[in-house]
Amino acid sequence: MASDWVQAIRAGDFARAWAINDRDLLEVTPPPKHTGPRHLQRIWRGEDLKNKHVLVRCYHGLGDTIQFLRFIRPLRQIARSVTLWCQPELLPLVESAPGIDRAFPLHDGVPEVDFEVDIEIMEVPHAIRARRDQVEVGASYLALPPTVVPPLREEQNLAVGLVWKVGEWDKRREVPAALLSGLAVPGVTLYSVQRGASPEELAAIGALEISTPDIATLGHRLRQLDLLVCVDTMVAHLAGALGCETWVLLHAECDWRWPQSGAHSFWYPSLRLFHQKKPGDWGTVTSEVRCALRSRLEVGQARVAR
């Protein structure tokens, strides 16, 4: 059952999770492997990837790709070559990533490269039997290409970035913008890295606009911040992959990659998690974040005073 797999992943019991995946593979009766359209001829079905030319395709969200890029290096340690077929927006981040021999933009056609096995990026940890240490890869596993980004400010306030909206999938993750206005405490300057924020939302929060559609530039912006406060979206994964201090606000029935309770995730050690206790109650969550933000300011002021 899917719930068994989710429980195993949340517990960090990856051997159990891969055993469940094995069982699911056996229960599916696929068409013969080397028949049909070219793109379907070499889909991975559980075989060993050792010494294979592997095509890794990224069919899910940008955040999923960023999260699972950590498994490309261990894949390359057993494969003969690894080609990443990924979202065009991520190409500047992945072209020189360890373990990737070639990266090219994803499209709706068939891949124009030679390969022996075609695997979706979220299946890679199952295929390589990823261990806990290959999940817990440390504070940062993603490098940014050099980009000139103007400085944020000259003032000494704590620079806190905000993301509160998500895409169309699971709108329960969104936080009403007005609730974040409580984070505008003395000693803090709020910055919006929310794409598509309206002037009304920015005014309600009291945040300065620094968003950008370019993900590499966004990564540099995140590194300029002292702290990011965001909902469960791609930006949280980007910040975690870069090792940026980030507080993630999670709804009561959060996604499988996050624990159902607790403040920490073995996926990203630089993240702190804030959970809804009751579905839809973001007011309590943002109040907790406000208190945590005040505490962080007090700790910083105490250090300066020493």
Give me the pLDDT at residue 61, please: 92
What pLDDT does residue 96 have? 81
Token pair for residue 122? 């979220």
pLDDT greater than 90 at residue 26: no
The pLDDT assigned to 155 comes to 73
**Sequence-distant (≥ 6) Cβ neighbours of residue 128 within 8 angstroms:** 49, 71, 74, 75, 78, 134
Residue-wise burial string across 174-203, b where 16 or more C-beta atoms lie within 10 A, e elsewhere? bbebebbeebeeeebbbbbbbeebeeebbe
Least confident of 70-79, 136-145, 280-289: 136-145
Say yes or no to pLDDT of 45 above 90: no
- pTM for this model (two decimals): 0.92
* Residue 303: pLDDT over 90: no
N residues, the chain: 306
- Separation CA 228–CA 47 (nearest Å): 41
Tokens 């709804």 belong to residue: 251
Q: In whole numbers, what is the pLDDT of the chain averaged over residues?
A: 90
Residue 306: per-residue pLDDT: 46
Please tell me the predicted confidence (pLDDT) of residue 88. 96
Kindly indicate the confidence band of residue 281, based on its pLDDT and cuts at 50, 70 and 90: very high
Q: What is the pLDDT of residues 160-190, one digit of tens each?
A: 999 999 988 889 999 999 999 999 999 999 9
Domains of the chain listed by start with CATH number = 2-19+31-135 (no CATH), 158-305 (3.40.50.2000)
Mean pLDDT of 32-46: 65
The answer to whether residue 101 scores a pLDDT higher than 80 is yes
34-43, 158-167, 239-248: least confidently modelled range: 34-43
Which carries the bigger pLDDT value, residue 44 or residue 139? 44
Helices (H) then strands (E): counts for the chain: 12, 10
Share above pLDDT 70 across residues of the chain, in percent, rounded to a whole number: 92
The rounded Cα 37 to chain-centroid distance in angstroms is 32
Question: Side chain identity at 110, as an amino acid letter?
Answer: V
Per the model's pLDDT, the better-predicted residue between 304 and 211 turns out to be 211
- Of the segments 58-67, 148-157, 291-300, which one has the largest average pLDDT value? 58-67
Residue 76 in tokens:
């390359």
Which of 73, 84, 179, 173 minimizes the C-alpha distance to 128? 73
Asked whether the predicted pLDDT for residue 54 surpasses 90, the reply is yes
Over residues 114-132, the mean pLDDT reads 94
Q: Confirm if 171 and 124 have CB atoms less than 8 A apart.
A: no
Report, as an integer, the average pLDDT of 112-124: 92
